[in-house]
Structure 1
């Protein structure tokens, strides 16, 4: 076999390394694993050269974002530059009115970017519905990957400085490092400045054996969740159900919803696990972002376990800013509802996301009301007896699944069709045929939920086993996981669900 001419080889390499909208650089891709291996070699050599290491990571992070959003990596640089200078001016200002103006400017710039790229066509659609079709023309606007995440992260920095909880960074490069750090850049977790900034200039960078082993465990479990469970059940079952619900019975539609609940959890928590693991391998510690959320016995507990970095951000920077629970019960319930409505809108510019937020906001308010009138009731259901906790888990899970139906369906018409099939064309007799026709899917769904509900101590024991294993065993585990991914993966890499947010 003749080898490719050098210029053809270079051309193909250039295509591979250039921006391709249909092929973002994600953790589960072979290209990322190859680039990250090369990145680690240079990173290790720079472990004591603080400034060179920071600049090197910034360049790799900007390239990583370029591979996801093309020229819009400049938007990330603009956001970092804007809030870096606003934060410094805010810190120097003593007059309260001027301080409020500076922080308002930061919020306006960040939300202005988010609003233009994410909500322009949504507002045009509402205007056309109010004033007639054609009143405004839709625009072809590209949504930069992960803009919602780095905008929230940047706003938290200036707000914390306004609240005098932290001081501004002295170097622009350090702030760009914080905002662009590639493990959490495009899909979180949303890392607070107060937690991350003290880690930037530690010298030398130290990765202990325990940190490395934990990183290996998190990366491998995240890869299994994402590339094995989530991608397989999505392509081979869930997407088919949601695309054409009338072609399937109610039992199949309900199984599709259960499948999507597992898919979105494995997709997002898998990404978070990999992000936390990759950061740990570089010597940085991120907070935990998921804690077995479907074990929750109340809706309040669910939001303490699901996407923890976002729920805590909404609590600290939106709910508390609205008054929290300091202005009476009615205001508390209204604040919860408004916080979740805006949280729903953060996820997507569509009515179904607003309704999803309204569902969770109403449920949180009702649970808050329940705790106010029932003596001893706890937010996490800690006072529940085993049977009542089991019932609470079932009820909470199905409430969350109803929300996921609105989250996943392409429109409210899709929600209506799925519910129609479930309530009026259930046909439970088809369950054996479903299991026979989708054996692989059913097995993976069962494995996914079984692993999710194992006791926390079993998960911790598995992590300790990997951490204490010799490096050769960890390498073999990684090779086995990559082989498994290759056996079940489709021809195309599936983007992470939260890339669209």
Structure 2
């Protein structure tokens, strides 16, 4: 009997160190908080020794990623090694040509890895559609890995997307580019650099940490003030509420049912589901980043703010200054400005735009697109030839559109994501012209501001059908219900039947639209409260969240990006 108990205990211990797709380490799972409690206890014993602290955080970050993504940890280590040594070589080189070649290699290697894992199906399907072929995706890395063994461990007929690859790829690119630009000195230790790339709170879903802001913190001594601790715990509690109440609860009890079969629900239900989805994706993503920021503060590190009440935005451009700020600013500094920004166009701009427009025409596959897009291109070319002012406007707007189109493609390997990005680009460009003739643009009246915020919210919400829809056919079914089957007669029945969901939605939006001053007072009140009150509040939040918890695994939405 004792032997059986010993074997059982040993198996339980071994399970802790094994990867399981069914139970990855994520912030809403009890396993993560056990992991963090143990990790933080050890951190508290060694944090005063900077080198040891960094090595320790690097190791547990790798363990965290292994528990989240399994053998894909090899891709993370590969990216770390490549950019560490390229970064050092760029800094030590006096040759401008060599430096440019090295930074190009860094960018290309990172993007090739990203494209292989994230866009293999997208490129293959697009090629098959264009040339009427039937090429199938084949995982050459798995095939190569299997050649070292007779067991055939890896599947060769599909390519699985590693969690977080889009985030840490952009981080390693920013490191090499910032060194090339002279904005940053390279880290001397590969352990320190590995810690920067893999820091576990933000590793798999951001925020995207820029090297120039995080690297200087790596060699500093840990300083955790009372204010940092209070803010850190507050952000964690706030993030859990956003994720588990305002995102998961409404998704499980209403949104997923509608989106899984839009034709089974009225147009009114589909519209309400889209409004709910705007709250879900905000609660899900900003909830993750709130927890990430809070965890980092508890360890003495500051991550960038990623959201600024985005549904208070009064235009599409303003929205993207408030939503996923770390991505928006990354695209601005490493894509929009290099393409020419608001000053000029470039050959790369026109080539990329041509490829994307061709793809959009193929994705829609209807006569209207085949007529409209060439007409717009010809009109733009003629206008640019006869007026420098028009030419400058066209170049600026092309760069805006490209940034948004590529930003859409970053979010997902599908033309529907490109369309979603393009619609947001159109919204930004259209507003640039509209504000010049708008009768209420400069109005300080409350109703004018409310109208602009409301209209922006509707635009952002209903373009997201391309983000949420599983396919173009799925999206068309949603549009059909909204256009032909609103069924206003039974709208009240929908509200009553799902009343708990709609009350939660209302509460979520009300708290989002609260004034900044009131939110600051709430956080300040939490910080000044005694420890027993904080503990009691944490217990209450835990109980509320897990009352709404489902046994179904609810991953964070941005894990897929």
Using the TM superposition, give the Cα deviation of residue 478 of structure 1 relative to its aligned residue in structure 2, in angstroms.
1.1
- 1:329-408 to structure 2, matched below 5 A, reads 329-371=393-435, 373-374=436-437, 384-408=444-468
Which digits, 9 at most, give the CA deviation of each residue in 1:163-221, with x for residues without a partner? Answer: 11111111111110100000110000011111111111222x11111110001110000
1:364 partner SS: helix
Residue 468 of structure 1 pairs with residue 528 of structure 2: yes
Tell me what 2:516 maps to.
456
Tell me what 1:239 maps to.
256
**CA–CA separation in structure 2 for the residues paired with 1:453 and 1:375:** 25
Give the aligned length.
495
- 1:2-401 to structure 2, matched below 5 A, reads 5-137=5-137, 139-203=157-221, 205-327=222-344, 328-371=392-435, 373-374=436-437, 384-401=444-461
**CA–CA separation in structure 2 for the residues paired with 1:21 and 1:465:** 40
| Stretch deviating more after TM superposition (241-250 or 439-448) | 439-448
1:5 partner SS: helix
**CA–CA separation in structure 1 for the residues paired with 2:325 and 2:135:** 41
Q: Is the 8 A contact 2:258 2:270 kept in 1?
A: yes
Using the TM superposition, give the Cα deviation of residue 75 of structure 1 relative to its aligned residue in structure 2, in angstroms.
1.1
Cα 1:375–1:224, aligned 2, differ >3 Å: closer, same or farther? closer
Which digits, 9 at most, give the CA deviation of each residue in 1:288-311, with x for residues without a partner? Answer: 111111111111110111011110
Using the TM superposition, give the Cα deviation of residue 34 of structure 1 relative to its aligned residue in structure 2, in angstroms.
0.7
**CA–CA separation in structure 2 for the residues paired with 1:450 and 1:375:** 28
**CA–CA separation in structure 1 for the residues paired with 2:11 and 2:548:** 30
Q: Is the 8 A contact 2:58 2:198 kept in 1?
A: yes
**CA–CA separation in structure 2 for the residues paired with 1:10 and 1:415:** 50
Compute the TM-score of the two structures, normalised by the length of structure 1.
0.96
Cα 1:158–1:383, aligned 2, differ >3 Å: closer, same or farther? farther
| Stretch deviating more after TM superposition (409-418 or 91-100) | 91-100
**CA–CA separation in structure 2 for the residues paired with 1:63 and 1:322:** 38
Tell me what 2:479 maps to.
419
Compute the TM-score of the two structures, normalised by the length of structure 2.
0.86
**CA–CA separation in structure 2 for the residues paired with 1:382 and 1:159:** 40
**CA–CA separation in structure 2 for the residues paired with 1:382 and 1:88:** 50
**CA–CA separation in structure 1 for the residues paired with 2:4 and 2:171:** 46
2:464 partner SS: helix
**CA–CA separation in structure 1 for the residues paired with 2:179 and 2:219:** 20
**CA–CA separation in structure 2 for the residues paired with 1:26 and 1:47:** 24
Which digits, 9 at most, give the CA deviation of each residue in 1:450-492, with x for residues without a partner? Answer: 1111111111111111111122221111111111111111013
Cα 1:361–1:10, aligned 2, differ >3 Å: closer, same or farther? same
Across the aligned residues of Structure 1 and Structure 2, the Cα RMSD in angstroms comes to 1.8
**CA–CA separation in structure 1 for the residues paired with 2:135 and 2:261:** 32
Give structure 1 stretches of 5+ with no counterpart.
Answer: none
Which digits, 9 at most, give the CA deviation of each residue in 1:59-83, with x for residues without a partner? Answer: 1100110011101112111111101
Q: Is the 8 A contact 2:120 2:137 kept in 1?
A: no
Cα 1:55–1:137, aligned 2, differ >3 Å: closer, same or farther? closer
Q: 1:482 aligns with which of 535, 539, 542?
A: 542
Tell me what 1:432 maps to.
492
